[in-house]
Every structure is written in structure tokens, then in C-alpha cells.
Structure 1
Amino acid sequence: MVTYVVDSNHSSIEFIVKHMMVSKVKGFFENYEAEVEATDLEDLTTAQVSFAIDAKSINTRNEDRDTHLRSADFFNVESYPLIRFASTQITKDGSDYELTGDLTIRGTTKPVTFEVEYNGKSKGFDGKTVYGFEAETKINREEFGLTWNAALETGGVVVSKDVKIRVELELTHQEA
């Protein structure tokens, strides 16, 4: 197995959630670590993937909202500082992949499956080979203990229970 590192300047972990039943809020996590080990990244089925995301690093470009998301109403970052993911199975689906693993948020672990697209490989300016991937899934935030909400007088709620998670990765071989 070869260990690959994430180029954080060309990678992201983002989320999208419906707000007030009429628009969407997008955000991302600024700080995370990822480890990908694989025999061959052109065949992702040989890989093991894990993430540790600093929940405090949430950023929706609105400090009041970010402070609320860090509170006990949502991520409770004082008690649960990390969001974790560890792969359990990767299968090929045509030219793409399904990456299944255990996602842990607020101490609750549930299986999730990401649809993964392999974007290919290229040589970087430093001569190293880089690999690109995009992955997406949707979770029900309430299943992970993120249950805060408020009813709207027009019907509906402030925050949708469905959250789309999108990951874009650029990986390079880790030097010894």
C-alpha cells in the first residue's frame, strides 16, 4: 500500500443545506486531515480512506451562523471536536465508484455512501503525479443528533434535515 496526501490548496469539504425552505446555505470546513492508502489510485477499490475534520473550522461566511453551528444546538464542538469518516468498502460502478464508510458526527456513527468520480491524473509543476477525485453524498442531519430547528409561520422549517456533502480531492504520493 502507498500513502497519498491531500493537497489542501486544491481540495475541499463542502456542504449545502436548504434554508427557510426557499434558498440554500453553503459552507465548508477549513481544517481537516485525510489519509488515503492504495495499491493503485487508478483503481480506487484498492484504497482505504479516512478523514478527521475539525468541526470548529466550519465556515459559512457568516460568523453569527458559524458560532451557532459550533454550539450545542448543532455540532457541539466543545464535546465533539472532530467529524470522522473511515471507509469500509469501495466498489466500482461503471467508470465511477461507490465509497461506503462510517461517518461519525456528535458521537453518532452511521454508514454513508459517497458517489465518487475519478477525474484522472496529471504531472504537477514539481514533477509529482497528482490524482483528482470528486465525491458526493446526502445525509439526514437529524440521524447524527443535529436536530435544532424552528418552525416558520408560513409553514416549513428554518433548516432542512437533508444535507448534501461534497468532497473534492487532489492527492499526491507521500514522500518518505
Structure 2
Amino acid sequence: MAKSRRHKIQLVAYSRGAIVLHWLIALGIIAQLVMGFLMVRAAPLAATTQESSSSFLTSAVVRTIQFAQQNQFFIFQWHKTIGILVLFLSIARIIWRLMNKPPEKAPMSAFEKITSDIVVFFFYVLMITVPVIGWIIVSTSPTQFPTRLFLLPDLVWPNLPLAIDSNTEQAAANAHALLAYSFVLLLFLHIGGALKHSIFDRVPELSRMSLIGKLHHKKTARGSVIISSLFALLLGAGALLFSHYNQSSTPAAATDAQQAPVTGTTQSDWVVDKQKSTLSYEVAFSGEPVSGTIGNWDAIIHFNPAAPQKARADIAIDANSINYGHPYVADSLPGTDGFDTAEYPQVRAVLDHFSKDQNGWQATGTITIRGKTRPLTLNFTYQENNGHAIIQGSADIDRLAFDLGRQNDASGTWLGKTVRVDLVLEADRK
């Protein structure tokens, strides 16, 4: 065993299991602190770097900040995944510590010993408390974005059985941030103490938490590897099974064929061929265009190109049939930050002013989403042959005008503000 040059005592390194868990948790915590900072500060920092000269910030730092801003949503999702991993690694670490008593410390003053014990105690408190509070934030958030571990669609982590409440979410978020800053203080004290013992006291303190070196490692208690690993794994597997059971037992949304048809109030002059007609939309997600579908809708059309002043179109959409090409957004569409389908089951567009110029046709009117009515302009082309018409058009909608996604992304950082709706209708004149 190695001897301290100053204290002439024998030191033993921690057990290998304790060392592995220590560094995995340490890396997880540091990654969480960095990601948490970028989640909150990426946008302001990106604005600052655009105004700053290269003499203040290196190009590598600027690129990192810009990357974080562009991928803020995915950083947030990885933040949740790593938080869950830190929680269960910490549970395994506590079980390991209970089964494997830490090796004796090098001689130190009473003040240093008390300080060291306090720092370690609060480390363990925060290692459990901070991830749990993060879990509370996700569970009580009105946005209800699912936690997909490692961004895998089928690996959904369950929320805690708590009421959805923005006040609780905000209080938990404040506590989460405060305790995260406390982690920084503890890391400073912990690293500073280890360096002080190694450099000034000439005690190989850093080697005690290393898998390599001359120090012998403390023997591992029998069964501690299996027990600590199984306990953490069983807790995690149980939570995932619970989430899967809840998802499978929740009645699935009705398919388009099962849903009640959306009908208007008057008879249409045209019979729309639903098999050949589509309503869809596109909105950017994390900088990339992503398409969405509209499954159940109906249109009542009065249109004669020879008499546009009498034209009118009434389009009704079942809000529950609106889907999106990314699962994170798709899952939140029916919720209170989406279309709030429990309160507002239908989206309705009424076009009552039609005109034509050299570029084609234009129809103006209103669209009502979540009980809010706003102006709508549809630009379209019209072709008719022997009573069969093909209409293709598009309209832009500001989602924030209807409070769609306002709670989760009012700035449009990862979900675009403009929604482009595309329409293709094939219909036969009655």
C-alpha cells in the first residue's frame, strides 16, 4: 500500500464499483449542468455572439452556442434522459455505499472532516432531489411532452401521478434551477478539497478514486454488484412497464373511418372525392420542415367561376384527426397547449370572398381554432373539365395567433411560428 509522504499512513482506494459509479454520476451531473445552462441561455448568448467581435469569443464557442440554439429541443430531451440515468445511478450508488463502507480517510483537521462529510451528504441529497424535481416539472407541465429515453419513440418514461398545473411547474422549475446552482458550489468544494489534499498535503487523494494506480482497492462486499444493479434496473424496468401498460390500456384515438363525419349546415354544389383529396400542413421543427396530416374533414362548396361574388366554401375539420410527423409534437396536439380538443373539438374555415387575377384565384375569410377567429387567405388554382374540378391551394397561418404551442415555445425556437396549409380537392359538380 502507498504511504503518504506527510502523514506516513497507509491509504486504500475505493472499491472499483464505487469508482465506476462515482465517475458515471460525475460525468452525468456535469453534462446536465452544461445542457441546463445552454437550454436557458443559448438564445441570449447567440444574440450576443452575433454582435460580438471574434476577439471576444472564439469561433468554436460561437459554433457551439449556435448549435445549442438550433438543437435546443433535443438538448432538452437528452437532459431528461440523462437526469433519469443520474437518478438510478445514484440509487445504485447509495445501495453500494450501504453495502461497502468507504475506506478510511487520510488524517485531516476537524473542520476539514466536518466540511467533507457535509459536502458528501448534500451531494447525495441533490443527486436524488434534483432529478426528482425535474421529473415533477415534466409531470405537471401543461405541455405534457413525453419523456422518450434516448429519443426512442417506444421507450417512454412515465410521468408522476400529479395534477397538471402551471404554478406547480414553475415552482418546481425555480427549485430545480436553484439546486442545480448548488451543485456547482458543491463541485467547487469537492474538487478544491481533493486538489488541496493532493498538492499541499501530499496525500494521493485523487488516486483513491482511480481504477489505475499503485493504491490497492478496497474489497467489494459479496453480492453488492448484483443487488445494487438489480435494484436500480428493476425500478427502471418497472416504471417503463407501467408506462407501457398505461399507453396500451388507454383507448386509442378513433380512425378516420370510425370518427363521426364533420358536416356543414347547407348542401354543397360539389361532391368532393375524399379518396383523391387531401388536407395537409407543414411547419418547421428544429429548423427542418415536417409535414402533418388532417384525417377527418368535410367541405361544403358553392363555387361557379362565372359568378365568384356568390362563391362560398365552408370547411370543417375534426381537431382530433390532426397529426404531425414528429412524435413529440404529435402527442401534445390534443392537449391544452395544442388544439385543446376536449374543449374545442372542431376547426372551421369559412371563405366568402373570391377573386381572380393573372396569378390565379384568391379566397379570403376566417378560420376558427380554439375558439379564436382570425383572417384567412387561400391562394389556389382551379381547373375544370366536364364538371370535374381540381383545386390546389395553400394558406399560411400564424400558430401563435391561436395560442398553439405558446406555453412551450412562444419564441419559435424549435417549432416554427408559420404553418403552411396545403389543399388538394377533386370534386364533381352536382
Corresponding residue of 2:369? 105
Measured after TM superposition, the shift of residue 66 of structure 1 is: 2.2
2:417 aligned residue (157, 161, 170) = 161
* Residue 134 of structure 1 pairs with residue 399 of structure 2: no
| Structure showing greater Rg | 2
Runs of 5+ unmatched residues, structure 2: 1-266
Q: CA separation of 1:62/1:114 partners in 2, compared to 1, >3 Å: closer, same or farther?
A: same
1:89 aligned residue (348, 353, 371) = 353
Q: CA separation of 1:45/1:13 partners in 2, compared to 1, >3 Å: closer, same or farther?
A: farther
Q: CA separation of 1:122/1:62 partners in 2, compared to 1, >3 Å: closer, same or farther?
A: same
Corresponding residue of 1:144? 402
- TM-score relative to the length of structure 1: 0.82
2:318 aligned residue (33, 54, 58) = 54
Corresponding residue of 1:32? 297
- TM-score relative to the length of structure 2: 0.35
Larger RCO: Structure 1 or Structure 2 (Cα < 8 Å, ≥ 6 residues apart)?
A: 1
Using the alignment, how far apart are the partners of 2:420 and 2:318 within structure 1? 18
Aligned residues: 163
**Which residue identity lines up with residue 290 of structure 2 in the other structure?**
V
Shift >6 Å, 4+ stretches = none
Using the alignment, how far apart are the partners of 1:109 and 1:42 within structure 2? 30
Q: CA separation of 1:156/1:60 partners in 2, compared to 1, >3 Å: closer, same or farther?
A: closer
Corresponding residue of 2:282? 16
Measured after TM superposition, the shift of residue 70 of structure 1 is: 1.2
Corresponding residue of 2:384? 121
Corresponding residue of 1:126? none
Using the alignment, how far apart are the partners of 1:145 and 1:156 within structure 2? 12
3-state DSSP of counterpart to 1:59? strand
Name the one with the larger helix percent: 2
Using the alignment, how far apart are the partners of 1:105 and 1:85 within structure 2? 9
C-alpha contact (below 8 Å) 1:52/1:83 kept by paired residues: yes
Measured after TM superposition, the shift of residue 96 of structure 1 is: 1.0
Name the one with the larger strand percent: 1
User: What root-mean-square deviation, in Å, do the aligned CA atoms of Structure 1 and Structure 2 show?
Assistant: 2.3
Using the alignment, how far apart are the partners of 2:308 and 2:273 within structure 1? 18
**Which residue identity lines up with residue 362 of structure 2 in the other structure?**
E
